Chain A
Amino acid sequence: MSEPSHPSSDWRRFIAISALLVIGLAAAPLWADRAGLRLLGEMYSLLTLALLWNLLAGYAGLLSVGQQAFVGIGGYTLFSATIFLGVSPYVAILLGIVLAALAAALFAPLLFRLEGAYFAIGSWVAAETIYLVFTMIPQLGGGAGMSLPAAVVRGIAEDRSTREFIIYWLLLAAGTGTLFGAYALLRSKVGLALTALRDNPTAAASLGIDIWRAKFWTYVGVAAAVSAVSSLIFLQKLRISPASGFSLNDWTVTIIFIVVIGGIGRLEGAIVGTAVYFLLREFLANLGPVYMIVLGTIAIITMIFARRGIWGFLEARFGWSLLPTTRLPPHEDKI
């Protein structure tokens, strides 16, 4: 068990190390080439989605298999608002956040009637329905999708590399913002409720926790954040189609893989899982379709032998904790 003896000095060290890391990553345009920046940006976006899915499934008990719905909504709002309303990409991102939150708020009362596996299936069906609706709108290019006009892209910055730097920084901000935001959330009273919910929903309700409300705001908040990071992803890709925007594989299966092998119900799990995923992908990419089979096998083995994932294993074995949320009891003389 971790027992930081000087929480304040621990804090200072934690903040110093995090600040150095973030500054180092923010300076990546100085030390990384174009491909390197893209890879890092992709890592941040998957890390963000993994952190968010972990909040949903690992804490609020919402095993969603339909997060691609909010990725699609975020991406399509960016394209259609900039093209049809003529607003700047930044305004379009905000619009996407609002729309995804609204969609989640509408889904929630229906989906929350379903428990466990039924919720998972329900969330997937809802996402498929939205996907089909988007394929049928001719203005959005139907199944072929649409491209972001050059004029809109130039709204970010005139030249290509500045644009890429800005998108990189926005993705870095999304990743670090989500990581520290989720950390702050879990240390707050809401986080206390979510952690209790994670461990025992029956006891949580009996002790006065409003489970429905905790789940609702987690679901809506996560949808909004997913939409925001999705807008950034498609701002970089410059093209969207229903198949790419609402991809079950890219936006949910991959993310579940990351969280499961890293460690569900732990913030650190998403970080470790993302790192492992990218390592595997670099080494196994030339295997072709076999690559997916290898990933699936690894996930199944992890679920059988280390149910809390790699980080859960390390935490239990060595008492490690990178982002501790444990509340220490008061000193005896202070009670």
Chain B
Amino acid sequence: MSSDEIALEVVGLCKAYGALSVTKDVSLTVRAGEAIGIIGPNGAGKTTLFNLFTGIIRADAGRISFFGQDITTASARSRCHMGITRSFQVPQPFGGMTVFENTLVAAAFGQKLSQREARAPAAEALQRTGLWPKAQLRAGEITLLDRKRLELARSIATAPRLLLLDEIAGGLTESECQELVALIRKIHSEGTTIIWIEHVLHALLSIVDRVIVLDFGQKIAEGDPATIMKSPEVSSIYLGLEAESAHG
């Protein structure tokens, strides 16, 4: 699946909010076509990492490059145009627009298409995520679960090269979760590089080639899923996570 080409390279990334250091010297390399999982306890700084990758916030130190191009200071918009898209853990729908218009925005501006050209990819993204029957509802009026689906649909509609997924499997039933995994596997098989933050471990581990473990803003372990889940650094967190996903 993955090639030798490097999709995302992050070196020495740091971010602090006042005295609170939330990203501490994080370095990682993601090859094109890879699927990476990120796990770690609540508040470990996982979402912050996505905020840094997508340019929503700026790093205090460190360097980010995407397919060889330095994007450390690039705007969120230009990173989207280069092919980096993320889903928001806390859904950020365009509440006054319909579900279809939400994906239309993503396709039109993410892929630089006219409104007419964007219609087909926008509709397709809804069909793939099972949101098509709700296409004409206002995004502010759909359930939280559907809003999370809409996050995924909008991300797909931009036709990303690197897809960043932030906790999209929580709260799904077992069969819904299987559908989601099948969809992500399909997107991955079409050549999209994926980084997925997920607490629902069985879903995550059925997809990813490699797992990165974050704790207190630091990368504490990295490797293939089987080895990582057995490692002593992870087992304490891992147990915590399983207990949590059993509740969710």
Chain A positions near chain B (C-beta within 8 angstroms): 1, 3, 188-189, 192-193, 195-196, 198-200, 202-211, 265, 326-330, 332, 335
Contacts and interface: CB of A to CB of B under 8 A. Distances in A.
B146 interface: no
Contact of B77 (A3, A205, A265, A335): A205
A200 B95 contact: yes
24 contacts: A1-B137, A1-B138, A192-B105, A195-B94, A195-B96, A195-B97, A195-B101, A199-B95, A199-B97, A204-B94, A206-B88, A207-B154, A208-B77, A208-B111, A208-B158, A209-B77, A211-B77, A265-B96, A326-B101, A327-B119, A328-B136, A329-B132, A335-B124, A335-B127
A188 B123 CA distance: 19
Contact of B93 (A192, A193, A203, A335): A203
Given A189-B115, A205-B76, A210-B77, 19 more contacts: A1-B136, A192-B109, A195-B94, A195-B101, A196-B105, A198-B96, A199-B94, A200-B95, A203-B88, A203-B154, A206-B88, A206-B92, A207-B85, A207-B105, A327-B101, A327-B104, A332-B132, A335-B124, A335-B127
Contact of B80 (A1, A200, A206, A330): A206
A19 to B, nearest CB: 26
Contacts of A204: 94, 105
Interface residues of B, number: 43
B110 A330 contact: no
A193 B80 CA distance: 15
Contacts of A196: 94, 97, 105, 109
B81 interface: yes
A203 B153 CA distance: 13
B114 interface: yes
B162 to A, nearest CB: 13
B56 interface: yes
Contacts of A3: 136
B96 to A, nearest CB: 5
B239 to A, nearest CB: 34
Contacts of A1: 136-138
Contacts of B106: 207-208
A208 B110 contact: yes
- Ranked 3 nearest A-B pairs via Cβ: A199-B94, A208-B109, A203-B92
